[in-house]
Amino acid sequence: MVAVLLTGASRGIGAASARRFAAAGHNLLLTARSSAALEALASELRPMGVRVETACLDLAEPAGISAGIQELCSRGLEPGVVINNAGAAWTGPLAEMPLERWQWLFQLNLTSVFQVSQAVIPLLRRNGGGLIINVNSHAARNAFTDWGAYCASKAALSSLSRCLGEEERPHGIRVSTLTLGAVNTPLWDSETVDSSFDRRAMLPPEQVADALLTLAQQPPTQVVEDLTLMPAVGAF
């Protein structure tokens, strides 16, 4: 059976997307760090008539990613759509950023996407193709003071997505990015992130979930290489 694999599924964009895809009748493979939050979400979704499999997976720990994804996909559901949604933020001057924080941020925002993609590509190829959607940020195209590491990781994700799309095109695997302006998610509650402003103008996670479903519903004969979604008030 074909399913949607979604990382960072327990809250924010991930949880909203899981609900949206389940409502549309899609089976789900969900990963996040919190097993309790995942199981609570799965219990909410299963009465909708879809199958939901979960795996507790910390994408900041590279050693366990490939095996964790492969185990999740061995339970009778294989992904036809893969949404790399998990990510993190750290703010502060580049000149003062600890190396371990830089490496942690790039692991979550870039390298884990590479690892998840590597783990699922053999399955997608075997099944004749599929779709990988990488959730990105408009920070990939801009420079913001104290957000340098985040901007760099997202710019690298844009390049990774384009290169992966070129390499996998002959195998029927399409790669899209969803590039987002500010979304009202727990990212803004991170330790170093300043969120002392009105967040009501940000995109709600449910609108992002709708955009992800739109991308997933594109026919296999076409690919939306990048869809950009911004708050109507502009960039922030």
Annotated catalytic residues are 150
Residue 84 pairs in a beta bridge with 134
Q: What are 93's two structure tokens?
A: 């001057």
Q: Are 134 and 227 in contact (CB under 8 A)?
A: no
Phi, psi at 228, each rounded to 5°: -105, 130
* DSSP line for 154-223: HHHHHHHHHHHHHHHGGGTEEEEEEEES-B-SGGGGSTT----S--TTSBPHHHHHHHHHHHHTS-TT--
Task: Tell me the C-alpha to C-alpha distance, in Å, between residue 203 and each of 131, 182, 208, 209.
Answer: 24, 6, 7, 11
